[in-house]
Structures are given as C-alpha cells and as structure tokens.
Amino acid sequence: MTTTSTVPRARRRRLAVGVVLAALAALVAVLLPRTGWTLATWTAAERSGAGFEAGIFQSQSQAAGSTEWTTHPVGSPVTLSLDGLTGLAPGGDSTAPTAGEPRLVWLNLRTGPASTWSGQVRLTGSTAEGALAPALEYRVVSRAASTDRCTAADLGTGTPVAGSDAAWQPAGTVPADPVALPVAADAGDAAGLCLAVRVAADAAGATAGAGYQGAGADLGWTFTLSQDPATA
C-alpha cells in the first residue's frame, strides 16, 4: 500500500522557500564575521600632554600700628595707629569754626611674596561708625612707600586718591572713580599712602559741634588689589 502526502503542493513550496531562506540566513551569519574583518582598520594612537599651574596673587599691608607685612582681609584690618587718633577738635572758634587739624597716618600696600602678577590698588570702601563719624572727613594721597610719618608736606605733594585740599571726602564715602595705584608682582614696589582725618568745618561751632565733644568713631577703609591682565 502506498502513502500519499497530505501536504498541499503550495504549502510544500512555501516550506521549500523557507528552507532556502533559512540556509541563506545561516550562510550570512557564517560569513558576516569574515566580512567584519575586511572592514577592520588599523589604528594608531598619538598622545600629547602638558602641565599647568595656577599663579598666586595676594595683597599685603603694613602701617604704624602693625608694621609687619601681612595679608589683612576684610574682618582682619591692619591697625593704622599704634596710639589711636585722639584729641580731634574743630578749628577756629565758636563764632568762626573751621575744620580741625588733621591726624595723619601712613599705610603701605603691596602684593605678597611669590605673587605671580602685578596689580592695581584702589580705594573701594569706607566705613564710619560711632557718634563722631558724621563730623569726620578724610583725604588719602599716595607717596613713595615709606614707614616714615606722614606730614602736611605729604598731603601737599602726594597724588590725590580720595578728597582734595579743597574738598575732603566725608567719612564713610569713597570717590566714585577710584584712583589706581600700581604695585609690582612678588612683593615688589609697594604703594605708599598717607591718610588724613579731621573734624569737618560744618561739624564745628557752638551749635553744630556741640554733640561731638567726647564722642568717638571707628573708621575703616577697604583697598582692593586687582591683578593686571594675564600675559605670557
């Protein structure tokens, strides 16, 4: 007895096509890695590098009350006068009051040792606190850095930094356009300053100055050292 296939001819044809496709897929799978090899390329690495180092930039100051060169950040100021500035008084008399005699102190500013860059010092802030503060005015002039006492002559010859002989700067204020004082890198040439403080004429006299007798004030100045543009 012979058996006859019950699978229709079309189905057998599809099966045959499927088998062929499967065989082709297997062939591709086998050949694909070889094809990949032909796509491989050589590579060559080339490395390069360099070291970099940040510079150092720091300010230092000294004054009569603290002659050692040290960094004095905000909150830790240099003391301008060892004995304090006492005995401030107006000038003139009660009927013709004038500004009082100024008290003079010196201050030097520079970059710290090993500072990489030179820079510019600017007066950027002034504070005045206490009952006497509204009666005070000041001047700042630059001179060659020195630990010598500032004199009236220095006020006359120094380059104005704040205020002028004709118009002193009210305590607690600063010039709108601060003067730049150059300082060298690496604790080089420093900027020398003389500060003068006095009782203003308009705070003197029997009426205007009555409330200031025996009063005191705490004055502070902030100088900012800015790095010169970095160049090779």
Partner 1 sequence: MTATAQHVPTAPENPDRSRRRRIALAVGSGGLVLGIGAVVTMAAWTSTERSQADFEAGRFSIQGSADGSTFSENPGSPGLEISFDALAAKLSPGATTYAPYAVQLTAGSDYAADVTLTSSTGTGTAADALTYTIVQTPTFGCTADTTGTTLVSDQSASGTPGAEMFSLDAAGDTVYLCLQVTAGDDLAQGSTGNIEWNLTGASTAPLS
Residues of the shown chain interacting with partner 1 in the complex, contacts defined by CB under 8 A = 41-58, 116-117, 227, 230-232
Question: In whole angstroms, how close is the CB of 54 to partner 1 at the nearest point?
Answer: 5
Q: Smaller CB distance to partner 1: residue 112 or 205?
A: 112
Tokens at 129, concatenated: 């606190």
The pair of three-digit structure tokens given for residue 176, joined into one six-digit string: 């709108």
- Which residues, at least 6 apart from 21, have a Cβ–Cβ distance to it below 8 Å? none
Nearer to partner 1, 53 or 177 (CB): 53
| 30 Cβ contact partners less than 8 Å away, ≥ 6 residues apart | none
Question: Any bridge partners for residue 141, and if so which?
Answer: 160, 194
CB of residue 113 to partner 1, shortest distance in Å: 13
User: Minimal distance in Å, beta carbon 53 to partner 1?
Assistant: 5
Report the residue number, 7 or 45, with the smaller CB distance to partner 1: 45
Contact 111, 117 (CB under 8 A): yes
Q: How far is the CB of 107 from partner 1 (least distance, A)?
A: 24
Task: Please name the helix (run of DSSP H) or strand (run of DSSP E) that holds residue 169, with its range, or none.
Answer: strand 169-170
Nearer to partner 1, 127 or 226 (CB): 226
Nearest distance from C-beta of residue 69 to partner 1, angstroms: 18
The neighbour count for residue 128, using CB atoms within 10 Å, is 21
Q: Going by C-beta distance under 8 Å and a sequence separation of 6 or more, which residues neighbour residue 152? A: 102, 104
Looking at the Cβ atoms of 118 and 169, the one nearer to partner 1 is 118
Q: Which is nearer to partner 1, 29 or 39 (CB)?
A: 39
Q: Residue 72: phi, psi to the nearest 5?
A: -125, 90
Query: In the bound complex, what is the minimum distance in angstroms from residue 114's beta carbon to partner 1?
Result: 9
Least Å distance, CB 182 to partner 1, is 17
By C-beta, is 49 or 156 nearer to partner 1?
A: 49
At residue 166's C-alpha, the angle toward residues 178 and 108, to 5°, is 45
3-state class (DSSP) for residue 160: strand
Phi, psi of 51 (to 5 degrees): -100, 150
